[in-house]
């Protein structure tokens, strides 16, 4: 990169407030707005009409497409204008009209997005969320406040994730789902009232999990989502029978971190299937 390329390039119609920190090679498009407490890493691109406000830090090579708005105050009635934060990692892509809000004082005080995220058109990440590396949100996904998304989670279009829910690493949530409970790592989740259908086999294959690991996870899911017994007993059985397996430990650690959370179940649990069928039929 020569000297000219290192200099930030700001369109004449853009507004960059005093105090903003712009890294080498930053590009800011027409009518974009960058606030005075914003830090943009090297090579960041802020598209036309995009807004970056508040105490926001954006990592190198991240790109905001036209109309994206990040760092605005949280949609939380407890917020009284306190100085909270948003941090977005490197090499992320935020497509048109994506919104990501800053944290709250009552929450973590900051919203965190990891590296290599891809947020498609119109998706929203609420206050105090923690989003891992490599997360993909399809068009118009709604992520409520305080949600945690593990690494490499993929969420299908039009899905809503209820506030404070957690979705474990490598899980896949299909489009138009309603996620109201925690989703264990590696799960494939589907349904308007979402439920665990199976392992996320396609995602595991793409990420290089070998045949033996996948088979072990199949066994783990058969134990955890069996049709008989209660969930806590099945959880104990999983720990006893497969707790020594490295690939199973993330599931157990995920549940141990929040033992009193409600966990999404499988339709193999007949009681859960009846509830889902009733809700989906409108009865």
CB contact at 8 A, 180 and 111: no
Start-end of H helices in 196-230? 201-206, 211-224
**Alpha carbons within 13 A on the beta-carbon side of 48:** 1
> What tens digit of pLDDT does each residue of 247-279 get?
999 999 999 999 999 999 887 644 444 443 443
CB contact at 8 A, 59 and 117: no
In degrees and rounded to multiples of 5, residue 276 shows phi and psi of: -65, -45
Residue with tokens 């490197």: 90
Q: Exactly one of 132, 145, 150, 168 is catalytic; which is it?
A: 145
* pLDDT exceeds cutoff 80 at 283: no
Share of the chain above pLDDT 70, in %: 93
- Note the pTM of the prediction, 2 decimals: 0.89
Cα separation of 23 and 37, whole Å? 14
Helix, strand, coil percent content, the chain, rounded in steps of 5: 20, 25, 55
In degrees and rounded to multiples of 5, residue 201 shows phi and psi of: -65, -40
Res 227: pLDDT: 86
Q: Is the model more confident about 278 or about 138? A: 138
Element (H, E) at 254: helix 249-256
Pairing of strands 172-173, 166-167: unpaired
Which tokens go with 231? 């969930």
What ranges make up the beta strands (E) of 158-266?
160-161, 166-167, 172-173, 178-179, 187-190, 195-199
Determine whether 127 is an active site residue: yes
Determine whether 256 is an active site residue: no
Q: Exactly one of 79, 101, 124, 127 is catalytic; which is it?
A: 127
Determine whether 145 is an active site residue: yes
Q: Exactly one of 76, 128, 182, 272 is catalytic; which is it?
A: 128
Q: Which of 234, 258, 74, 76 is nearest to 166 (CA)?
A: 258
Write the class of the CATH domain 3-164.
mainly beta
């Amino acid at each position: 990169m020569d000297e000219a390329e290192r200099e930030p390039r700001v369109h004449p119609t853009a507004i960059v407030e005093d105090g903003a920190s712009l890294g080498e090679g930053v590009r800011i498009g027409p009518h974009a707005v960058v606030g005075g407490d914003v830090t943009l890493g090297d090579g960041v691109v802020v598209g036309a009409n995009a807004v970056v406000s508040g105490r926001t830090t954006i990592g190198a090579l991240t790109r905001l497409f036209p109309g994206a708005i990040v760092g605005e105050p949280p949609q939380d009635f407890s917020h009284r204008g306190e100085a909270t934060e948003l941090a977005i990692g490197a090499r992320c892509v935020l497509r048109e009209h994506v919104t990501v809000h800053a944290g709250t004082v009552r929450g973590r005080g900051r919203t965190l997005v990891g590296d290599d995220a891809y947020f498609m058109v119109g998706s929203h990440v609420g206050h105090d969320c923690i989003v891992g590396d490599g997360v993909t949100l399809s068009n118009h996904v709604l992520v409520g406040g305080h949600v945690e998304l593990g690494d490499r989670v993929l969420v299908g279009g039009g899905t809503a994730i209820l506030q404070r829910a957690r979705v474990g690493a490598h899980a896949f949530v299909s489009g138009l789902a309603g996620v109201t409970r925690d989703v264990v790592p590696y799960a494939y989740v589907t349904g308007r009232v979402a439920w665990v259908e199976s392992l996320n086999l396609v995602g595991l294959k793409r990420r290089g999990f070998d045949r033996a690991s996948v088979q072990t996870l199949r066994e783990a899911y058969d134990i955890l989502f069996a049709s008989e017994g209660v969930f806590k007993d099945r959880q104990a059985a999983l720990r006893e029978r497969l707790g020594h397996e490295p690939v199973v430990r993330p599931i157990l650690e995920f549940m141990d971190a929040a033992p009193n959370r409600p966990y999404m179940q499988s339709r193999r649990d007949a009681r859960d299937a009846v509830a889902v069928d009733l809700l989906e039929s409108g009865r």
